[in-house]
Structure 1
Amino acid sequence: MKKVLIITYYWPPAGGPGVQRWLKFVKYLRSFEVEPVVYVPENPSYPIIDKSFEAEVPPGIKVLKEKIFEPYSIAGIFSKKDTETISSGIIQKEENQSPLQKAMLYIRGNYFIPDARKFWIKPSVNFLKKEIENHDYKAIITTGPPHSLHLIGLNLKKETGCKWIADFRDPWTQIGYHEKLKLNESSREKHEKLESEVLNTADHIITTSFTTKAEFETKTSKPITVITNGFDSEVNSNTVEKKKFEVAHIGSLLSGRNPENLWKALHQLLDEHKDFRKEFQLKLAGKVSEVVLESIKDSGLEEYLVNEGYVSHSKALQMQRQATVLLLIEIDSIETRGIIPGKLFEYLASRTPILAIGPDKWDAERIITETNSGKVFSYADAPKIKEHIFGLFQKYQQGEPVRDSHDIEKYHRKALTGKLAKLINGI
């Protein structure tokens, strides 16, 4: 069985989507004759904790740990909330930033390059160099962000000659918040130089989106493979009886993802069709911005709204299967074209039709279209959105099945791990 060394910052008990990708790969790699060894920080500063993920770590997996110096732990003395927000990449518009937030962003962008985990690079290289010399590894894999982990891979590649795969869960210099870090010209050049060195030194590059792959292809001739995120539940093969024509959004719905034209379209349908008024329900689960809730209220939808708040993951999966239509919303900008929300894959497994609203040339549209799992609209498509929803409602009224998706199994985490294992074996 071939061994690979996986270098990741996020690992249980960390919560959120960042931990799930490599936790799931580790879960299935042994099925493809690959033995994973995982390297993580001993004392990380995670913004989200979810101890339930610990139960998914396969028994007997070797986990190496080395201490990390975390500047965010010091910054948290001044403002824990601001520190956790910035460390997770959520940055407010400049006009809404406090003087402390502006100062923290300037320091983060210009003094911690590529990011605040840079202090883990040198001790990790010293520690792992001995590990690689004493054990036979087929390859090492670094995953970022934080992109400082790719610099661990870069240095290990230079010092040991090991095969190295760099996995980009998000872009580097083209990530949505990069321009908000108040970078001076020198800092910008350092980011670009480090990114170029990583892209042109790694033996293989993995991205989670087609847009990021296309961007990197302009910067390197090294091979690049897209391995998206996926789902780890069974594909729903049962038809769940629908008690209402329920349009649902499961997950965070923040102010930047406020589909006002959707609310207007729903209001018009309620105003024009008596049957729609009797059957319609709008259900939200997860953190919802007050801006979004106010917009829903202003559109006359408040009496039809069921706001569940935060729910467990198992409850979320159940709600996805019970809904008639699932909403997938992304910010309308060029920078978000390459974002494929993790919940899309759970939506696919539920086999509930998806109504997606996002930017033009959105990567999620490619997946939704090829699996015939729903329809994708721009924010300006109010008439088309209204027509589509009413068409689904008519099928619902007539008892016709509204789902006709296919080719979903290739997005199961085990199938995606098979793709990764093939890449590892071929390197």
Structure 2
Amino acid sequence: MKVLIVTYYWPPAGGPGVQRWLKFVKYLRNFGIEPVVFTAENPFYPTIDETLAADIPGGIEVIKCPIFEPNNIVAKFKKKETEKSAGFLDPNPSFLSRVLLYIRANYFIPDARKYWVKPSVKMLENFLSNNTVDAIITTGPPHSLHLIGKRLKEKIGVKWIADFRDPWTSIDYFHLLPLTRSARKKHFKLEEEVVRAADQVIMVSNHAKKKYVGFNKAIDVITNGYDTEESLETVAHTLDEKFSITHIGSMNSERNPKALWEALSELCEENKEFAEDLELKFIGKLDDSIWDNEIAVRNFKDVKRINYVPHIEAKLNQRKSQVLLIVVNDYPSAKEMIPGKTFEYLQANRPIIGFAPEDGDLAEILTNTKSGIAIDFSNTQLAKKAISDLYKKYKSGNLELSSEGVEYFHRKKLTEKLSNIIKAVIKE
């Protein structure tokens, strides 16, 4: 069997967007499926990580199509504005930023990669007429890629699977975009058309699936996961000496755990030894508003802020940390969100504190695996108690974790589930 995977993010792209399908491609051959990758020839990647190319299996066919991206033009005269992803909205935007965001939100629907749809359909229509492919898979965001799958299905009847790495209209920043009524309506219309037209839809969380079941009954959930890194397994590491709490990845203005800052501030004031032992580490983009208004103004003595490290180094930092911190955006659909880092946190086998709805998908995973606790965004007292309990174990030299069922989230295990879905779609 052969599948064609349409993805914008592919090495040397860094960050979370590339991980899911890079790992699926890595393991699909184990289950009798040969992947072919279709991606952009000249993409605009905010983050580059050359090390990820090592995960691409030998002999994988990669087809590339040139892409026109308005972001590239804007970047020439407003580089600072465009280095931020849509999910990293500036809480104090300049006038030019507001104008650019308005244009982006209302004229590039579903996103700024919309101009890649037509040339991609043309190139792939020709490729599929000369090559045997059993199904195509589109993965978004950018959700414009799903329109490629939809049009190919309409034109040549190819089996099509739409994978939503993140939701479309319920993604964390959607409600912050300055959308006109007609633009918002168009987003919802396109989203529904895509979900209805696909032969199979894949979501990453159960709450996300619930939103779409009225449009298509063929919906399955495959979460993100973690992978075994042989180069990491041989690296000796010891836990941080201090009581480190580490967040890895982006923390934007909507991903601001105010209850955490309050709890830590109170604990530092009440316990001078805790204040001396505490080490906060932020590896990844940290919004300036959080730094200026929440962290820099408090009495935290040891704070490390690192913009970006290669993926392997990030995973090593996870294993060394005493406690791992994960935060989802405080927004209407927060119950759906399971940040991709969750699963590598599970692999690291360190206690996890999550700031997320206590009845959401993230909370369920942390509870079921006995890996940590999810705390509602404003529950300062629970945050304070949870951190105090962890600190006491740290001081007694007993801050360990006995998690369960984490192996279910290994990328190879998840790829096996994907392969079964692909085979079922092809046989229909």
Deviations 1:53-87 (A, max 9, x none): 2222111000112222222222223312223325x
- Bigger CA drift: 97-106 or 342-351? 97-106
Distance 1:178 1:399, change over 3 A: closer
Report the CA distance between 1:306 and its aligned residue: 4.1
- Give the gaps of 5 or more residues in structure 2: none
Distance 1:281 1:110 in 2: 43
**Partner in structure 2 of residue 106 of structure 1:** 102
Distance 2:304 2:385 in 1: 23
Report the CA distance between 1:297 and its aligned residue: 4.2
Residue aligned with 1:298, SS: coil
The one-letter code matched in structure 2 to 1:50 is D
Distance 1:57 1:125, change over 3 A: same
Residue aligned with 1:173, SS: coil
Report the CA distance between 1:254 and its aligned residue: 3.5
- Bigger CA drift: 384-393 or 258-267? 258-267
Contact 2:10 2:18 in 1 (8 A): yes
**Partner in structure 2 of residue 226 of structure 1:** 221
Distance 1:37 1:244, change over 3 A: same
Report the CA distance between 1:353 and its aligned residue: 0.5
Deviations 1:225-252 (A, max 9, x none): 1111111136989995563332222333
Distance 1:214 1:85 in 2: 30
**Partner in structure 2 of residue 15 of structure 1:** 14
Deviations 1:161-184 (A, max 9, x none): 111100011122222333444333
**Partner in structure 2 of residue 326 of structure 1:** 324
The one-letter code matched in structure 1 to 2:228 is S
**Partner in structure 2 of residue 348 of structure 1:** 346
Distance 1:171 1:192 in 2: 12
Distance 1:63 1:188, change over 3 A: same
Are residues 1:258 and 2:256 paired? yes
Distance 1:389 1:97, change over 3 A: closer
Distance 1:66 1:267, change over 3 A: closer
Contact 2:89 2:253 in 1 (8 A): no
Match of 1:117 among 105, 108, 113: 113
Deviations 1:14-62 (A, max 9, x none): 2221111111111111111100001112222222222222222111000
Distance 1:308 1:48, change over 3 A: closer
Contact 2:6 2:145 in 1 (8 A): yes
Residue aligned with 2:14, SS: coil
Distance 1:416 1:272, change over 3 A: same
Residue aligned with 1:171, SS: coil
Q: What is the TM-score of this pair, normalised by structure 1?
A: 0.90
Identity %: 48
Report the CA distance between 1:322 and its aligned residue: 1.9
Report the CA distance between 1:344 and its aligned residue: 1.2
The one-letter code matched in structure 2 to 1:355 is I
- Bigger CA drift: 322-331 or 312-321? 312-321
**Partner in structure 2 of residue 407 of structure 1:** 405
Report the CA distance between 1:355 and its aligned residue: 0.9
Match of 1:144 among 127, 133, 140: 140
Are residues 1:160 and 2:159 paired? no
Distance 1:296 1:89, change over 3 A: closer
**Partner in structure 1 of residue 387 of structure 2:** 389
Report the CA distance between 1:222 and its aligned residue: 3.0
Distance 1:392 1:52 in 2: 34
Distance 1:102 1:383, change over 3 A: closer
Q: CA RMSD in A?
A: 2.5
- Bigger CA drift: 363-372 or 128-137? 128-137
Match of 2:123 among 107, 127, 141: 127
Distance 1:261 1:122, change over 3 A: closer
**Partner in structure 1 of residue 184 of structure 2:** 188
Distance 2:136 2:401 in 1: 41
Count of residue correspondences: 421
Contact 1:17 1:342 in 2 (8 A): yes
**Partner in structure 2 of residue 361 of structure 1:** 359
Deviations 1:316-335 (A, max 9, x none): 22222222211112232223
Report the CA distance between 1:309 and its aligned residue: 5.1
Residue aligned with 2:84, SS: helix
Distance 1:289 1:297 in 2: 12
Distance 2:179 2:28 in 1: 40
Contact 1:12 1:19 in 2 (8 A): yes
The one-letter code matched in structure 2 to 1:21 is R
**Partner in structure 1 of residue 39 of structure 2:** 40
The one-letter code matched in structure 1 to 2:101 is L
The one-letter code matched in structure 2 to 1:90 is F
Contact 1:368 1:375 in 2 (8 A): yes
The one-letter code matched in structure 1 to 2:190 is L
Distance 2:216 2:113 in 1: 28
Residue aligned with 2:83, SS: helix
- Bigger CA drift: 308-317 or 368-377? 308-317
Distance 1:391 1:233, change over 3 A: same
Report the CA distance between 1:217 and its aligned residue: 1.6
**Partner in structure 2 of residue 52 of structure 1:** 51
Report the CA distance between 1:360 and its aligned residue: 4.8
Contact 2:2 2:135 in 1 (8 A): yes
Distance 2:102 2:276 in 1: 53
The one-letter code matched in structure 1 to 2:126 is K
Contact 1:236 1:351 in 2 (8 A): no
Distance 1:118 1:271 in 2: 52
Contact 2:10 2:39 in 1 (8 A): yes
- Bigger CA drift: 4-13 or 174-183? 174-183
